[in-house]
Amino acid sequence: MFLGIDPWVRKCWYALIQKNNVIVDAWILLQKSKEPSREDYFQKIIHIKKFFETMTEEHTIKAIWIEKLFFSPKNQANAEFVYWLRWVLIVHFMQLGIDVYEYSPIELKKNISSYGKATKQLMQKTIQQIFWLQKDPIYDDAADALWLAYLASRQYT
Residues 54-96 have pLDDT tens digits of 999 999 999 999 988 766 666 666 788 888 999 999 999 999 9
Amino acid identity of residue 119, one-letter, is T
- For residues 95 and 29, the model is more confident at 95
Domains, the chain, with CATH or none? 2-104+141-155 (3.30.420.10)
Strongest mean pLDDT among 37-41, 91-95, 152-156:
91-95
Q: What's the residue count for the chain? A: 157
Residue 124 has pLDDT above 80, yes or no: no
pLDDT at 67: 87
The DSSP 8-state label assigned to residue 75 in this structure reads: G
d(CA 142, CA 127): 10
- Taking alpha carbons only, the member of 18, 77, 89 closest to residue 48 is 89
Model pTM score: 0.85
Residue 109 has pLDDT above 60, yes or no: yes
**Non-local CB neighbours of 151 within 8 Å, separated by 6+ positions:** 4, 65, 101, 103, 108, 111
